[in-house]
Amino acid sequence: MRALVIIATAALAIGCSKPNEAGEKTPEAADKKATAPTPKAAEPPPASATVPAATKSMFAALPAGEVANPKNPVTEEKIALGRMLYYDTRFSKNHDLSCNSCHDLARWGVDAEATSPGHKKQRGDRNSPTVYNAAGHIAQFWDGREPDVEAQAKGPVLNPVEMAMPDEGRVLETIKSMPEYVAAFQKAFPDDAEPVTYDNFGKAIGAFERRLLTPGRFDAFLKGDDDALTDAEKKGLNLFVSTGCTTCHTGAYLGGHMYQKAGLVKPWPNEKDIGRAKVTGNDAEKFFFKVPSLRNIAKTGPYFHDGSVASLPEAVKMMAEYQLGKQLGDEDTQAIVTFLEALTGELPTDYIAKPELPASTDQTPKPDPN
């Protein structure tokens, strides 16, 4: 620092030199050009912007194409059928809700509500998570009560608070009332003696969801393109790791692969929902929930199982405090948020375009608002 002050003082003195009375420059002025500093070479990025190989190895790029399920091979026929079923409101009791109502594919697979409105505007007690990349998770729903997206797709349709169809029979009656749907089921499940089943309803939607992947710059970075992330994003990634976020958020989905207790080191502010213990009956799993994926997290708020936090920076601070026992300042919080924003991928706009749906017939059940 002292050397810099001396240099600056010398430069100031040189800059103030004047010609003498004869018009000749003083020696100090003559030397000015000779002593001018040469342009500096480009400096290497700071160490904080260099991501170690060990850090990269904690993550993985998203699968190419689809998340496979040997029990439900993905075919174009299943996808075409599943896409129609996903958007069709006639599989709700009052014909006013579809899968897309709560998991809007044009809005990153969510509805931006803390909890979603269902039949007769009823609301459940949990936030609707995004369907993008969900097929790769360990299980479905916050409490992991269903093993895969095929099983998950059947749940909301019969839930009285959600789409409220009275039973599987009404779903099948609705399908069979439209010849185009019957033909689509036959194409999608050609080896089945009876293609129109509720299990196949779930399989078709599941096949469609298995290609709802959103690769982006982070995947390019993991595959070797170091310039895919900015220095600020790399710094945020390093801080994400050093803070301890990778205790739960690793792998291709940065989550979705394990269960964890909400309030691991400090009791969670809201303990009304006992989480996975409600499914398993095991008190040791009270307040455990499936760890959410951080893919597209900047687009999928509000956050947590109850949708209680709208701000991503606030969510980051809460995770540090209640899960890791750390207090993050604003600067570190923003650095991590900058990295999380880099996890936003690309929506498959052509793939998610709403299809033309089969026409109703006289046999199609009518809407029921009751």
The residue to which tokens 């046999």 are assigned: 363
Q: Of 175, 193, 209, which marks where a domain is finished?
A: 209
Distance CA 347, CA 292 (A): 19
Say if residue 228 is in the same domain as residue 165. Answer: no
Q: Residues 198, 220: one domain? A: no
State whether 51 and 87 are in the same domain.
no
- Cα 267 from chain centroid? 25
CA-closest candidate to residue 65, choices 255, 214, 224, 220: 214
User: 235 and 133 share a domain?
Assistant: no
Q: State both tokens at 268.
A: 């969670």
Give the total number of structural domains in the chain: 3
- Residue 22: strand pairing partners: none
Residue at 122 is within a domain: yes
The CA-atom distances, in angstroms, between 3 and each of 10, 35, 39, 40, 73 are: 11, 16, 19, 18, 70
Burial of 54 per CB tally in 10 Å (0-12, 13-18, 19+): exposed
Cα 277 to Cα 259, 284, 323: the distances in Å are 11, 7, 19
Which residues are catalytic, by number? 162
For 232, other C-beta atoms within 10 Å of its C-beta total 16
Q: What is the CATH number of the domain that holds 185?
A: 1.10.760.10
Taking the chain (370 residues) in runs of 10, the rounded mean pLDDT of each run is 37 39 41 44 58 98 97 98 99 98 98 98 97 98 98 98 98 98 98 98 98 98 98 98 98 98 97 97 98 98 98 98 98 98 98 98 98
Domain of 8, in residue numbers: 2-35
The letter for the amino acid at 67 is: V
Residue 365 placed within a domain: no
Contacts of 137 (CB under 8 A, 6+ apart): 253, 256, 257, 290, 293
Q: Are residues 55 and 109 in the same domain?
A: no
Q: 197 and 81: one domain?
A: yes
User: Which tokens belong to 97?
Assistant: 């809700």
Structure tokens at 319: 């995770």
Short-list 19, 136, 13, CA closest to 66:
136
Q: How far apart are CA 117 and CA 161, in angstroms?
A: 8
Please choose, from the candidates 170, 153, 150, the residue with its C-alpha nearest in 3D space to the C-alpha of residue 162. Answer: 153
Residues 201 and 115 in one domain: yes
Do 233 and 205 fall into the same domain? no
3-state secondary structure of 84: helix
The reply to whether 168 falls in a domain is: yes
Helix (H, G, I), strand (E, B) or coil at 168: helix
- The verdict on residue 98 lying in a domain is yes
Domain identity same for 326 and 291: yes
Q: How many Å apart are CA 246 and CA 243, to the nearest integer?
A: 8
Gyration radius (Cα) of the chain, Å: 29
For residue 236, is it within any domain?
yes
In a shared domain, residues 154 and 99: yes
Alpha-carbon span 117 to 220, nearest angstrom: 37
Could you tell me which residues are beta bridge partners of residue 260?
Answer: 289
Q: Do 187 and 161 fall within a single domain?
A: yes
Q: 359 is written with which tokens?
A: 């026409």
Same domain, 223 and 328: yes
Q: Other C-beta atoms within 10 Å of 349: how many?
A: 9
